[in-house]
């Protein structure tokens, strides 16, 4: 039967070419490698490449970065699968390595995914069990009324996840990202300057998140110290700290006499910083001592306390460990085996409260009655979300906590250093100051690194409102890019459709040629 193909048609040359290699091509034909060169790949897939690039650009311009992250992961796996398809793995019975069957593709995909999941599980498990950063294993504290069935408990039963937001809602919230969860430029900060103090004055310096330097002429204390510019543990993908205009090093501060830790989460207890402070005295909630011991801190320099334990440290300084509503843990299997807490300091006859991490709790009234009124309360105000509102306070609750504690002034902490939740980086400061004004409670908002004397001045400049979002980003903000990206995306789709149609007719022609040859 004569071959019924128009010799003038576009397809004939390609049919002849394709017929040379299809469908009985030898698996180890080296011409495959040449034909599938990178250049040829780009030309062959130009429609798809343009579609992926313009789609990713559209996603980027619409603040859906996690979707782009997902696309990159899918492309990565797709490339790995294609590379493996070129080897002899699972190729038994296959006619061509260049066109793996669906069965072979599925086998390769399963292999790659299982290897990837195994790698993640094994490396995380090894790290979270054996890395020194995870800390030590604390002993059971049967004597504590807060320790039951192998773990510590909040005063009232508390679910870490509130159940107010479904997993799907949370996922959507996460995917619909925006530019303001962290600042786009280095945050304006102040260089640390040690103040000259009168005999009984107290200097306070907030160094970001929950790190506070408090000193008199005789005593220097620090809370939840985290220094360095590394990402937050536990793994290499932990959040990076925001970039500050100034960097703070322990050696630039007065010598630290006493270190107070609220709980063992990584954004409050940092192995590197603790090691640097090895000559200081440490005061920690029950169980946290095990971490410090593993990091080489001398046992005689560590004091462990339970809720409402009090210690007279010096003639100027008395402290009490007080409750918070939170949880603890650094590894896979040690959740809630160490206690979480807030601290009360009585320094030079001034009362100071440090909340650590906490959801709003009625116990603030009790703490206020027992140790208040407070001259200042450092209250966590940041990293809140409806999904976990039992363990972190909303800014409005922060003000209520300040009122419950009978605090003259509150200072919002636990913000402006890490992006651990979904709110804008400056929202906690905005909301807490607005609510403070509404409820008539004084809110101190020093810049990071700015020192002030307690009771003398209350820094309250809204320093965060002058922070620009940084220069326009060409790909994100440029008008011309915005105008051409949509038409280009449409062109890429048309290109793909035409290419698919072309391939279909080409395959039909190949089939005809093959059939006629066989006949
Ligand atoms: Fe925490």
Mind listing the pLDDT tens digit for each residue in 346-385? 999 999 999 999 999 999 999 999 998 999 999 999 999 9
Centre of ligand 1 to C-alpha 325, Å, is 10
Centre of ligand 1 to C-alpha 269, Å, is 10
- Residue 28 pLDDT exceeds 60: no
Provide mean pLDDT across the span 123-146. Answer: 85
Assign 471 a pLDDT band (cuts: 50, 70, 90).
Answer: low
Res 32: pLDDT: 53
Provide mean pLDDT across the span 249-262. Answer: 96
Res 504: pLDDT: 85
What distances in angstroms separate CA 297 from CA 212, 234, 304, one per listed residue?
21, 20, 13
Assign 173 a pLDDT band (cuts: 50, 70, 90).
Answer: confident
**Six-digit token pair at 16?**
């002849």
Nearest by Cα to 208 from 428, 519, 61, 10? 428
Res 414: pLDDT: 98
Centre of ligand 1 to C-alpha 300, Å, is 26
Alpha helices in 131-241 (DSSP H): 167-175
Assign 440 a pLDDT band (cuts: 50, 70, 90).
Answer: very high
Centre of ligand 1 to C-alpha 438, Å, is 28
- Residue 448 pLDDT exceeds 50: yes
How far apart (Å, rounded) are the C-alpha atoms in residues 151 and 162? Answer: 20
167-466 maps to CATH 3.40.470.10:
no
Centre of ligand 1 to C-alpha 206, Å, is 18
Q: What are the residue boundaries of the structural domains of the chain, listed by start?
A: 11-122+478-518, 167-466
Centre of ligand 1 to C-alpha 262, Å, is 9
How far apart (Å, rounded) are the C-alpha atoms in residues 346 and 373? Answer: 11
Centre of ligand 1 to C-alpha 357, Å, is 5
Torsion 427-430-435-436 (CA) sign: positive
Question: Are the C-beta atoms of residues 267 and 418 closer than 8 Å to each other?
Answer: yes
Provide mean pLDDT across the span 387-405. Answer: 97
Centre of ligand 1 to C-alpha 366, Å, is 22
Provide mean pLDDT across the span 302-309. Answer: 97
Alpha helices in 250-357 (DSSP H): 271-276, 289-294
Centre of ligand 1 to C-alpha 265, Å, is 5
List CB contacts of 284: < 8 A, sequence separation 6 or more.
Answer: 260, 261, 292, 302, 303, 304, 305
Query: What integer best gives the mean pLDDT of the chain?
Result: 87
Residue 342's beta-bridge partner residues?
Answer: 322
Q: Which residue has the higher pLDDT, 3 or 137?
A: 137
Centre of ligand 1 to C-alpha 232, Å, is 13
Give buried/exposed letters for 344-362 (b at 16+ CB in 10 A, else e): bbbbbebbbbbbbbbbbbe
Centre of ligand 1 to C-alpha 439, Å, is 27
Centre of ligand 1 to C-alpha 340, Å, is 8
Centre of ligand 1 to C-alpha 123, Å, is 24
Res 447: pLDDT: 97
Torsion 499-39-20-12 (CA) sign: positive
Res 234: pLDDT: 62
**Six-digit token pair at 321?**
């460990």
List CB contacts of 424: < 8 A, sequence separation 6 or more.
Answer: 178, 180, 181
Centre of ligand 1 to C-alpha 93, Å, is 56
Res 8: pLDDT: 40
Centre of ligand 1 to C-alpha 517, Å, is 73
Res 65: pLDDT: 80
Q: Is 8 helix (H, G, I), strand (E, B) or coil?
A: coil
Q: What is the pLDDT of residues 58-109, one digit of tens each?
A: 888 887 888 888 899 989 988 888 888 888 888 777 777 667 788 888 888 8
**Six-digit token pair at 272?**
């590197």
Centre of ligand 1 to C-alpha 393, Å, is 12
Q: What is the pLDDT of residues 215-236, one digit of tens each?
A: 999 999 999 999 987 767 666 6
How far apart (Å, rounded) are the C-alpha atoms in residues 282 and 330? Answer: 19
What distances in angstroms separate CA 207 from CA 199, 217, 301, one per listed residue?
24, 20, 24
Centre of ligand 1 to C-alpha 191, Å, is 27
Centre of ligand 1 to C-alpha 263, Å, is 7
Centre of ligand 1 to C-alpha 355, Å, is 11
Q: Is 377 helix (H, G, I), strand (E, B) or coil?
A: strand
Res 39: pLDDT: 79
Q: Which residue has the higher pLDDT, 484 or 413?
A: 413
Centre of ligand 1 to C-alpha 312, Å, is 27
Centre of ligand 1 to C-alpha 162, Å, is 16
**Six-digit token pair at 459?**
């820094």
What distances in angstroms separate CA 36 from CA 41, 44, 91, 144, 389, one per listed residue?
6, 9, 18, 69, 55
Res 469: pLDDT: 65
Q: Which H or E run includes 431?
A: helix 427-439
Q: Which residue has the higher pLDDT, 336 or 35?
A: 336
Res 470: pLDDT: 65
Percent of the residues in the chain that have a pLDDT greater than 90, as a whole number: 55
Centre of ligand 1 to C-alpha 356, Å, is 8
Q: Which residue has the higher pLDDT, 394 or 139?
A: 394
Centre of ligand 1 to C-alpha 186, Å, is 25
Assign 34 a pLDDT band (cuts: 50, 70, 90).
Answer: low
Q: What is the pLDDT of residues 428-437, one digit of tens each?
A: 999 999 999 9
Is the bond preceding 113 in cis, omega lying within 30 degrees of 0?
no
What distances in angstroms separate CA 13 from CA 20, 510, 519, one per listed residue?
11, 11, 21
Centre of ligand 1 to C-alpha 228, Å, is 19
């Amino acid at each position: 039967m004569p071959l019924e193909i128009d010799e003038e048609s576009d397809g004939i040359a390609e049919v002849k070419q394709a017929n040379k290699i299809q469908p009985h091509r030898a698996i180890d034909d080296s011409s495959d490698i040449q034909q599938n060169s990178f250049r040829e790949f780009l030309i062959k897939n130009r429609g798809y490449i343009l579609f992926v690039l313009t789609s990713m650009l559209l996603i980027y311009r619409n603040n859906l970065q996690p979707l782009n992250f997902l696309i990159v992961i899918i492309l990565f796996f797709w490339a790995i699968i294609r590379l493996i398809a070129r080897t002899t793995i699972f190729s038994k019975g296959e006619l061509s390595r260049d066109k793996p069957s669906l069965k072979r593709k599925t086998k390769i995909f399963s292999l790659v995914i299982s290897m990837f999941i195994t790698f993640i599980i094994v490396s995380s498990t090894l790290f979270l069990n054996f890395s020194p950063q995870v800390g030590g294993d604390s002993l059971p504290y049967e004597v504590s009324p807060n320790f039951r069935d192998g773990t510590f408990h909040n005063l009232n039963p508390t679910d870490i996840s509130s159940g107010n937001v479904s997993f799907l809602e949370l996922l959507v919230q996460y995917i619909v990202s925006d530019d303001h969860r962290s600042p786009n430029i280095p945050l304006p900060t102040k260089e640390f300057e040690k103040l000259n103090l009168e005999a009984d004055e107290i200097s306070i310096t907030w160094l970001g998140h929950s790190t506070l330097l408090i000193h008199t002429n005789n005593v220097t204390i620090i809370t939840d110290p985290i220094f360095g510019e590394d990402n937050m543990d536990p793994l290499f993908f932990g959040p990076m700290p925001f970039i500050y205009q100034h960097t703070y090093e322990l050696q630039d501060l007065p010598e630290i006499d006493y270190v107070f830790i609220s709980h063992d989460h990584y954004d409050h207890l940092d192995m590197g910083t603790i090691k640097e402070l090895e000559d200081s005295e440490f005061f920690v909630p029950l169980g946290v001592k095990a971490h410090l011991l593993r990091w080489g801190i001398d046992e005689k320099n560590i004091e462990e306390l339970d809720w409402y334990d009090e210690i007279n440290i010096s003639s100027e300084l008395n402290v009490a460990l007080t409750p918070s509503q939170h949880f603890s843990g650094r590894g896979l299997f040690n959740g809630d085996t160490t206690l979480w807490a807030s601290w009360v300091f009585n320094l030079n006859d001034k009362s100071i409260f440090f909340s650590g991490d906490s959801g709003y709790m009625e116990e603030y009234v009790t703490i206020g009655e027992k140790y208040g009124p407070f001259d200042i309360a450092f209250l966590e105000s940041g990293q809140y979300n409806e999904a976990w509102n039992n363990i972190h306070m909303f800014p409005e609750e922060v003000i209520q906590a300040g009122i419950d504690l009978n605090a003259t002034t509150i200072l919002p902490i636990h913000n402006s250093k890490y992006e651990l939740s979904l709110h804008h980086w400056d929202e906690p400061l905005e909301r807490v100051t607005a609510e403070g004004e509404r409820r008539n409670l004084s809110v101190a908002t020093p810049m990071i690194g700015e020192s002030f004397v307690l009771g003398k001045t209350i820094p309250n400049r809204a320093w965060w409102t002058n922070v620009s979002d940084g220069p326009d980003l060409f790909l994100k903000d440029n008008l011309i890019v915005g105008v051409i990206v949509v038409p280009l995306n449409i062109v890429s789709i048309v290109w793909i459709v035409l290419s698919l149609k072309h391939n279909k007719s080409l395959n039909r022609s190949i089939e005809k040629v093959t059939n006629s040859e066989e006949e």
